[in-house]
Amino acid sequence: MGHYHCTGKASGYKHLSYKDRLTIEVLHRAKQGTRAIAEVVGCSQRTIQRELKRGMVQQHDGQTWLYYQRYSAEKAQQDAALQATGKGPGLKIGKDHRLAATIERCVKAGESPDVIAWRIKSEADESSVTLCTKTIYNYLYANLFLNVSWQDLILGPYKKRQGRRYNRPSYHKIQGRSIEDRPTQVDARSEKGHWEMDLVLGRRGSRRCLLTLTERKTRRAIVRRLPNKTQASVVQALDRIERELGAQGFRDTFRTITVDNGSEFLGTPELERSCLQRNRQRTQVYYAHPYSAWERGSNENLNRMIRRFIPKGSDISRFTQQEINRLEQWLNVYPRKILNYLTPAEAWAMST
């Protein structure tokens, strides 16, 4: 039996491994019969016969210049791996071309797979196919659609960062009220009217930027174009909003505003004073800790969504106010999982 001096015990319904195929190749070259090979490998004789047929290759004898057949473990393993790709259930989406077209249209519209899965589930009847978020991601990464793939996603799946959060030390004193003094109902998101504010900058050398405000409870968004990133421009933008809402309407809408320690937000008295009623306060401004962007997480997520349409390095001066208004409207009618798939506009209307 050559250099193989071992016997195998038959194990029912066992797939042959690459090691088993190497054993078959060695024994077949040693002119062993299929029965003897089966005893060593530990399978039926019929399995060996089928395996030899699967792995036969044609080779050329350099001495006799004749072709001959021999078993190749590598070729048999490749064929087995190819056949294994056809195992398992078929795609859940099946041949539903209408559903595939709907997913492609939603992806092109900038919607996330999570929102697409919610739309499919909410519009489906008892006989319709529904897909979960992970399944849609899998289909996109497997390039199963004709017109879209994972490259058309604005954002990939969220990956949580590892490590413990901590505040980096800062030698800059927080100007104005600290976030630590903010009312408890703001942290609990139990009432609406508490906002977070930041700037979205354009390409280097461009002065234009966007002022973004996010309401913490309902995620309602307000986006305004600014000529530059100065304190005066921020105050002027808030003054325009106050004139639109009225003095009392502004106080009811903007009870507090949380900002970072950027130079454009350091003028606390100017941000808080009313432009319509002299010596009256229109809101209260709180400052997050330095290097602690997660303390304004809702606003950071809003800016991330804006980057779907205005990528980093874009010239914001190229976008008209009408385009910014359409962007703001899209943000306020986009369903959010955190709101049980209500839109911010719906949550704002229903909230107190």
Q: Would you say the pTM of this structure is higher than 0.75?
A: no
Question: Is the predicted pLDDT of residue 162 greater than 70, yes or no?
Answer: no
**Do 256 and 190 sit in the same domain of this protein?**
yes
- The whole-number pLDDT of residue 296 equals 93
Check: CB of residue 299 under 8 Å from CB of residue 306.
no
- The whole-number pLDDT of residue 291 equals 86
Check: CB of residue 292 under 8 Å from CB of residue 299.
no
**Do 80 and 109 sit in the same domain of this protein?**
no
Rounded CA separation 43/163 (Å): 51
**Do 215 and 341 sit in the same domain of this protein?**
yes
- The whole-number pLDDT of residue 350 equals 93
Residue 145 placed within a domain: yes
Residue 5 placed within a domain: no
**Do 78 and 119 sit in the same domain of this protein?**
no
Residue 200 placed within a domain: yes
- The whole-number pLDDT of residue 344 equals 96
**Do 77 and 114 sit in the same domain of this protein?**
no
Q: Total structural domains in the chain?
A: 3
Decide: helix, strand or coil at residue 339. helix
Question: Is the predicted pLDDT of residue 276 greater than 50, yes or no?
Answer: yes
Question: Is the predicted pLDDT of residue 60 greater than 50, yes or no?
Answer: yes
Check: CB of residue 311 under 8 Å from CB of residue 223.
no
Q: What is the pLDDT of residues 86-124, one digit of tens each?
A: 777 778 887 788 889 999 999 988 888 999 999 988 887
**Average pLDDT across the chain, whole number:** 86
Question: Is the predicted pLDDT of residue 1 greater than 90, yes or no?
Answer: no
CA angle 20, 21, 22 (to 5 degrees): 90
- The whole-number pLDDT of residue 3 equals 43
Residue 257 placed within a domain: yes
**Do 143 and 247 sit in the same domain of this protein?**
no
- Stretch 37-55: mean pLDDT: 91
Q: Check residue 68 and give left, alpha or beta (phi > 0: left; psi -120 to 50: alpha).
A: beta
Tell me which of 84, 113, 141 is where a domain ends. Answer: 84
**Do 204 and 328 sit in the same domain of this protein?**
yes
Rounded CA separation 46/54 (Å): 12
Q: Which domain holds residue 312?
A: 177-350
Question: Is the predicted pLDDT of residue 139 greater than 80, yes or no?
Answer: yes
**Do 34 and 79 sit in the same domain of this protein?**
yes
**Do 343 and 209 sit in the same domain of this protein?**
yes
- The whole-number pLDDT of residue 4 equals 44
Residue 170 placed within a domain: no
**Do 315 and 242 sit in the same domain of this protein?**
yes
**Do 214 and 298 sit in the same domain of this protein?**
yes
Average the pLDDT over each of 113-117, 146-150, 203-207, 225-229 and give the range with the smallest value: 203-207
**Do 200 and 269 sit in the same domain of this protein?**
yes
Q: What is the pLDDT of residues 293-348, one digit of tens each?
A: 899 999 999 999 998 889 888 999 899 889 999 999 999 999 999 999 999 999 99
Tell me which of 152, 167, 198 is where a domain ends. Answer: 152
Tell me which of 84, 113, 142 is where a domain ends. Answer: 84
- Stretch 192-215: mean pLDDT: 93
Residue 288 placed within a domain: yes
Neighbours of 70 (CB within 10 A): 13
DSSP 155: S
Rounded CA separation 259/292 (Å): 11
- The whole-number pLDDT of residue 156 equals 61
The CATH number given to whatever domain includes residue 326 is: 3.30.420.10
Question: Is the predicted pLDDT of residue 189 greater than 50, yes or no?
Answer: yes
Residue 53 placed within a domain: yes
**pLDDT band of 125, cuts 50, 70, 90:** confident
- Stretch 35-56: mean pLDDT: 91
Residue 251 placed within a domain: yes
CA angle 42, 45, 47 (to 5 degrees): 80
